[in-house]
Structures are given as structure tokens and as C-alpha cells.
Amino acid sequence: MAKIPGKPVRGSSSGRPIMVLFDVLGKRWTLRILWELHKGKAASFRDLQSKCDDVSPTLLNSRLKDLRALNLVVLDDEGYTLTREGVSLSRKLAPLDAWANEWAKSLDA
Amino acid sequence: MAKIPGKPVRGSSSGRPIMVLFDVLGKRWTLRILWELHKGKAASFRDLQSKCDDVSPTLLNSRLKDLRALNLVVLDDEGYTLTREGVSLSRKLAPLDAWANEWAKSLDA
DNA sequence: CTCCTTTGCTACACTATATGTAGCATATTT
DNA sequence: AAATATGCTACATATAGTGTAGCAAAGGAG
């Protein structure tokens, strides 16, 4: 069941876009799927599955449905790819990689 | 059970910092808690609960434990606050609000 | 001191979500 | 025709999240 901005979502009756986004990103594998698609261009269903540590097909399909409904991912001849919106979102997420590395260092110290 | 970068986490044996981050952000309420703390400075447990649509105390405590173990949140005299690392992470997340608004517009069109 | 309120938080029964394996139906390759 | 690869569903099991009640400790008021 996909959520569309403007409609209420889990834990927020407002339907504010940021809450809709948090709702979907707060589900397991969503961030990872976006991450893998961002790195590697188009991927088949099974490709994606193996990139995502062999996530179960049930859940992968469920997440892809969500992401397609939210216009972040599409399935075309090449396989699954990010839409324009999906690319722009993943660009916002990209800096988290460098951030996480610095963070990990600070945890060691 | 908190996860520390360098150790394997759900769905990733590598323990890469970004995967540890995705693991915790991919749990329900984590993004929301960071968001609310980012907006509103220190908050008591019960304050946070009401800001987060009355999330159950069980889960709120569980997430706060995770976030404290990962050095993103602390509890002091004032209540719960973001650490320096927590602030720097939430700054990376802040642009998502504007992004989500644009995204919502594009979905309407 | 006693009573009342607020704090962070736990217990527990219930529901929803995620996992893992098997395998189907269609399309393409050999 | 047989083999392979595709996206995906079924289903039983395990894990994660929810909601209500309430406890123990700390502080304030009388």
C-alpha cells in the first residue's frame, strides 16, 4: 500500500511530504535499494536482490512497488532505474557516505 | 541491541559505516526522532513522545538507546538532545524537507 | 513528614511487518 | 523442444512495532 504526499501516513496525520518520505525511508531496505540503484545504474530484479544481501523477493517487490508508486523508481527495458526524482533524492543521500565514515572515526576515538 | 560501525548489521556483513547508518535510519521513528530533536532543542522523554505522534514508550526508548549508543543523542539535565555528531547528521537531513515539497508538487502534476 | 505530580522507563499481550524457501508463468536463448 | 533467465507470488515462520497499564525515583507543596 503506497503512500502519496498529502494523504496521512503511519504516525502522521498531516501527510506532509517530509513525513511521507520518512515513512518510506523508515522501512527496511528502502534506503539500501536507492543506494544500490544510485551506484549501479539499471539492475534486474534479481541483480538488485543480490546487491541487497539477498533480500527476500517478497519484500523487494513490496519496496519496489512503493518506490514506483512514489515516482522514485521505474522498471523499463533495461531493468529497474531511478527516475529523475529518484536521482535527485539519491543525490541528497550521497553525502551520508562521507559523513558516516567521519562518524565511524569519531566513535573509535 | 545497538550496532556499532565496523561490526556486521542487519543485511550487511561488511559493517561499513553507511550500512550501519542505513540500518538505524531504516527503523521506524528514527528519522522522525532526529527530525524533532533538530527542530526543537532539548526535549523530555514525554515531550518527544508527543512530538512523535504518541509513539509507544517501548519503541521510543528502544530507539533512544540505539541513538545514544551511536553517539547521536544524549540525555542530560535539559532532557534529550542531539550530540555534535547528531547535529551534523541532522544538517545533512534538513535539505530533505525542501526536496520533499518539490517532489510532492511533481507528483500532483 | 505526607501527598501529589512528573520524570524516565518496563511489562505484556496483541498486531503488523519482515524473512526464507519453493516455485509459477512468461520470455528469450540454444 | 529444452534450458535459462525474467519478474514475481505463496506461505509458513520469525522479528519488530503498538498500546495500555503501571512502577520506581525525584521533586514540589502543604
Q: What are the tens digits of pLDDT across the range B6-19?
A: 555 565 556 799 99
| A95 → closest Cβ in B10, B71, B92 | B92
CB proximity B101–strand C (7 Å threshold): no
pLDDT tens profile A84-107: 999 999 999 999 999 999 999 998
A9 vs B92: which has the higher pLDDT: B92
CB proximity B27–strand D (7 Å threshold): yes
pLDDT at res. A52: 96
User: Cβ–Cβ of B89/A106 closer than 8 Å?
Assistant: no
pLDDT at res. A13: 54
Listed residue (B23, B21, B20, B49) closest to B36, CA to CA? B49
The grid cell for A24 is 518510506
B95 interfaces chain A, CB cutoff of 8 Å: yes
CA A16 to chain centre: 18
Residues B30, A72, A25: CA angle, nearest 5 degrees = 5
Residue B60, nucleotide of least CA–C1' distance: C9
Is the pLDDT assigned to residue A8 strictly greater than 80?
no
Mean pLDDT within A43-47: 97
Which nucleotides along chain C are within 7 A of a protein C-beta? 6-13, 17-23
Beta bridge partners of A82: A73
Q: What is the DSSP string of B75-105?
A: EETTEEEE-HHHHHHHHHHTHHHHHHHHHHH
pLDDT at res. A2: 40
Q: Which residues of chain B have pLDDT under 50?
A: 1-2
CA–CA distance from B43 to each of A15, A31, B25, B103 (Å)? 24, 28, 20, 30
Which residues fall within 8 angstroms of residue B22, CB to CB, at 6 or more apart? A31, A32, A35, B12
Residue of B nearest to A27 (CA): B26
**Cβ atoms of A72 and A84 closer than 8 Å:** no
B39 interfaces chain A, CB cutoff of 8 Å: no
pLDDT at res. B109: 77
- Residues in chain A, total: 109
pLDDT at res. A1: 37
pLDDT at res. A43: 97
Contacts by B81-88 with C-beta closer than 8 Å and gap 24+?
Answer: B81/B37, B81/B41, B81/B42, B81/B43, B82/B34, B82/B37, B82/B38, B85/A103, B85/A106, B86/B34, B86/B37, B87/B38, B88/A99, B88/A103
Average pLDDT, chain A: 90
pLDDT at res. B108: 82
For the domain spanning A30-96, the CATH number is 1.10.10.10
| A31 → closest Cβ in B22, B29, B99 | B22
Among residues of chain A, what percentage have pLDDT more than 70? 87
Distance A46 CA to D1 C1' (A): 26
Is CATH 1.10.10.10 correct for B17-108? Answer: yes
